Amino acid sequence: EYAYLKGTVLFNPDLPGLQCVQYIQGLQREAQQALNEHITLIHRGDQARFAKLNVVLSLLRSINANVIAELFFRPIIGTVNMDDMMLEM
């Protein structure tokens, strides 16, 4: 579930200067669909879980990209500028 959540946050088509917006939107949709399928399989009794997670994800999107980089990338590859990394990807 955590991996799917990361995908829906990291594949952000709203990044200014992004050249492949439609491609990133597709990746985000795929991550959301995979998350929904995972939730359906694992949390059968909790029909509202996907909606709740989407609400929380919308709150996460308001967090500064550098904070997200610190949480997800610093332990693995050191200090990075998330905007530069997304543009390169």
> In the chain, what are the domain boundaries?
1-88
Nearest 5°: phi and psi at 43?
-115, 55
Say what the pTM is: 0.64
Residue 89 pLDDT grade (very low, low, confident, very high; cuts 50, 70, 90): low
Report the C-alpha gap between 70 and 25 in whole angstroms.
24
Most confident of 1-5, 8-12, 79-83: 1-5
Identify whether the C-beta of residue 53 lies closer than 8 Å to the C-beta of residue 35. Answer: yes
User: Can you give the pLDDT at residue 29?
Assistant: 92
- Report helix, strand or coil for 45: coil
Identify whether the C-beta of residue 27 lies closer than 8 Å to the C-beta of residue 43. Answer: no
In tens, the pLDDT along 26-71 reads 999 999 999 999 999 998 878 799 899 888 888 877 877 777 777 7
Q: Which of 42, 35, 20, 22 is nearest to 86 (CA)?
A: 20
Superfamily of domain 1-88: Retinoid X Receptor (1.10.565.10)
